[in-house]
Each structure stands twice: as C-alpha cells, then as structure tokens.
C-alpha cells in the first residue's frame, strides 16, 4: 500500500512510502500514477527555481521539503487533490496518513 502525508507549515513537507501492489511490477497503473505525479511535482517546483530543503526520490520512498508560498502551495495542493482521488478510487492501494 502507498501511504502519504502532506503537512503545511512554514515549509511544505511531503512523504510518500510503499508500493501500491495493484498488479505486477511494470504493469501497476496505481504505482505509475503516483510516481508520475511526484516526478511532475518535484520537477515543476525545481524548474520554477524553488530550492528544496530536502528531496529524496527512491523506489517506494519519496519525500521533499520546500518553502511554503503561494506558488509551491498551489502546486502541492494539486498533487494532494490527485492523490486523494486515487484514495477514493483505489482505497486498498493508497492511503492518506494524517
């Protein structure tokens, strides 16, 4: 199961761990969706010139910490909405940790 948390304070901290186990490796659409969302989010923040305090992207373990401002909050809020939609569609594979 993929578990994620997003915390908004002075910085935005995102943690995503696990594997979806929806289907076999290489064919898991849930895992591929989460991976794509995270890669796009990190790349967009980086391409806009915002510096990360911490960023780690590994198989089954992604986290980042970035300053909380109007732009980064908008980007991460979009990520959050997309992840929440996966929770609704695939509740056995994705879970939000509060």
Residue 61 has pLDDT above 90, yes or no: yes
Q: Cα angle at 51 between 68 and 11, to 5 degrees?
A: 25
Provide CATH code, domain 2-96: 3.30.70.1490
Cβ pair 66, 50 in contact under 8 A: yes
pLDDT tens-digit map of 80-97: 999 999 999 999 999 999
Residue 93 has a pLDDT of 97
pLDDT tens-digit map of 34-60: 999 999 999 999 999 999 999 999 999
Give 74's pLDDT tier (boundaries 50, 70, 90).
very high
Residue 85 has a pLDDT of 98
Sequence ranges of the domains in the chain: 2-96
Closest CA relative to residue 15, chosen from 47, 58, 46, 70: 58
Give 90's contacts (C-beta < 8 A, 6+ positions apart): 20, 22, 30
Spatial distance between the Cα atoms of 37 and 31, rounded to a whole number of angstroms: 10
Residue 25 has a pLDDT of 86
């Amino acid at each position: 199961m993929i578990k994620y948390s997003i915390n908004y304070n002075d910085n935005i901290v995102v943690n995503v761990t696990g594997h979806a186990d929806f289907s076999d490796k290489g064919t898991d659409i849930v895992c591929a969706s989460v991976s794509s969302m995270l890669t796009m989010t990190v790349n967009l923040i980086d391409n806009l010139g915002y510096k990360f305090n911490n960023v780690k992207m590994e198989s089954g373990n992604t986290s980042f910490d970035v300053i909380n401002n109007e732009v980064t909050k908008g980007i991460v809020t979009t990520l959050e909405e997309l992840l929440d939609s996966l929770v609704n569609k695939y509740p056995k594979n994705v879970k939000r940790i509060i």
